[in-house]
Structure 1
C-alpha cells in the first residue's frame, strides 16, 4: 500500500494530490489543511521508494495508477479529483487513461502531455548516472534553481532550503528509478482530446520547465478545459503562490 500525508476533511469530495519529481508528497502541505477545512477528504501519496513507501524497481506510471486505484478502493472512495503537478501530472493522465470512471475531475499543474524527445531522454539518462555517482545532493543542485520564480528564489530562502532538504532525504536509487519512469512514460497528447471530465490546467507564469505555452497547448486540446496562469510563480506553483493556487483549486472543486 502507498504511504501518504492526509487530512480528514468532510463530505464535499475526495482529492488526490500527486507530487513532483524529485520532491516528496510533503510539497502539498500548504494545500492539505485548506482543502480539509473546506470539507474535502484529501491525501497526498508518495511515489515508490520516497518517504517510507516501499521500493518497486522498474515501476511505471501505469503501475502507480493501479496502486492509486487500489488505495481509493481501500479508502472507500468511488471517485476523486486527481491533482498532479509535473511528474504527478504524468501520473494523473495515466490514471485517467486507465480509470476514467474513478476520475471526477483532473487538475494538471505545470506538466506536459508529450513523451520525451530522444534528446530529452538522453539528458535524463545522464541525470540518473550523475545522481548515482554523486548522490541526492546532485539532484537538488540541478532541480531546485529551476523550481521557483526568480523573486521567490531570492527572497524566500527558507522555502528553497526546505525544498532542497525534501530532495536530499531521498535515496539516490529511488530518485534514479523515478527519473527512469518519467523518461519511459507514454505520450498522452492524443488522449487529451478524449478527456470528458472537468479539467483545470494550472501553470506558473514564470515556469521555465513546463512553460505557459505548453499549458496553453494542452488547454487547446482538452474539450471544455479551463486554464489558469499564476503570476510570480515558477514550476512548483503550489509552493510559490499557495494562496492563489488554493483559491483556484477550491473554485474548481466547488464548481463540480
Structure 2
C-alpha cells in the first residue's frame, strides 16, 4: 500500500493529525477504536483517483493529542466539525467503521447538512442500542481493564475478533502493530462512548443516502446488527462483504472500495 503522509491541524486546542490525498468530492473516513488513519491506507491509495480522501487520527488516537477525560461522543462530533472547517471541507461523503460509525451517526444528528451520503460499516446503534446489556457491560469492563494493561496483552485479547479466520498473517501483523500503539486515555473514552451511546432515536431521522457495509463474518458486530440498522434507516442499502470480519476495509479492500465508490458516485450524480 502506498503511504500518505501525516499532516496536522489545530482544532479547539487539540492537535489533530490526518492524511489527505486525491481530488474530487470529499470522502471522510472515521476509524474505529484502537485504530487510526493508518487503517484506511487501502482507501487512501485506492480511491484517491476519484475522491479527495481524508482520514483523521481522532483525538486520543494515532499522532493526535489526547482530549480531556470528560470528552463525549458529542464532543468528538463537534471536534470533527471543527476539523473539517479547518481543512476547508463543508460537505462530504462520510464513512464510519465500528466506533467511527457511531461517531458518524452523532455527527449526522448534530450536522445533517454537512453529509452528502453516509456509509456505516461494521458498526452499531451504540453498544447499548445494539447489544444485550450483559454483553456490552462485559465488553466495556474488558476494554477498561485492557486500557490499563500492557499493549501485548490487549493485542492478544482483541485481535481474534478483528478479522475472519482467512486473514493472512501480514495483515494481522499490520493491525497488531497499530493497536499496540494505542493511547490508554483515548481507548477508555472511545470504549465508554461505544458502550453508552444508543442512537436508535437517530436512525429513523436519517435522510441522506445511507449504505450499510458489513463483513459477513464479523463477530463483534454480527449481521443481525446490520439488519437492525437496515430496518430502522429509511431507504438504507445493505451490502455484505464475503470472507471479511470486523475490520472489513482492511481485510477485503477491493470489495469495500467498490461498494463505497459505487454508492457515493451514484449519489453524487443524482
TM-score, normalised with respect to structure 1: 0.92
| Residue 55 of structure 1, aligned match among 66, 71, 93 | 66
How many angstroms apart in 2 are the aligned matches of 1:132 and 1:105? 34
In structure 2, relative to structure 1, the CA distance for the partners of 1:102 and 1:151 (3 Å cut) is same
State the partner residue of 1:136.
Answer: 151
Deviation at 1:239, TM superposition (A): 0.9
**Which whole-Å deviations, capped at 9, do the CAs of 1:29-81 have from their partners, x for residues lacking one?**
0000222112x111111122212211112211111110111111122222011
RMSD, aligned α-carbons? 1.6
Q: Within 1, Cα distance between the matches of 2:36 and 2:237?
A: 27
Counting only pairs closer than 5 Å after superposition, residues 75-94 of structure 1 correspond to structure 2 as 75-94=87-106
Q: Is the 8 A contact 1:19 1:86 kept in 2?
A: yes
Conserved? CA contact 1:90–1:111, under 8 Å: yes
Please say which of residues 26-35 and 110-119 is displaced more in the overlay.
Answer: 110-119
The Cα shift of 1:6 comes to 2.3
Aligned-pair CA distance for 1:183: 2.1
* Pair 1:29-2:44 in alignment: no
> Is 1:198 the counterpart of 2:209 in the alignment?
yes
1:228 matched to which residue of 2?
239
> Residues 191 and 132 of structure 1: is their aligned pair in 2 closer, same or farther, counting only changes over 3 Å?
closer
**Counterpart secondary structure, 2:202:** helix
**1:146 aligned residue:** 161
Cα deviation, 1:172-219, whole Å, max 9, x if unaligned, reads 33322321222222x111211111101000000111111112112211
Quote the residue 1:110 is aligned against. Answer: 122
In terms of fraction of residues, the more helix-rich structure is: 1
Aligned to 1:164: 176
TM-score normalized by the length of structure 2: 0.87
Following TM superposition, the consecutive aligned residue runs of length 4 or more in structure 1 with deviations greater than 6 angstroms are none
Gaps in structure 1 of 5+ consecutive residues: none
> How far apart in 2 are the matches of 1:177 and 1:78?
27
Query: 8, 26, 29: which one pairs with 2:21?
Result: 8
Shift in Å at residue 7 of structure 1? 3.0
Instruction: After TM superposition, give the deviation of residue 121 of structure 1 in Å.
Output: 4.3
User: Displacement, 1:24?
Assistant: 1.8
Structure 2: any 5+ residue segments left out of the alignment? 1-10
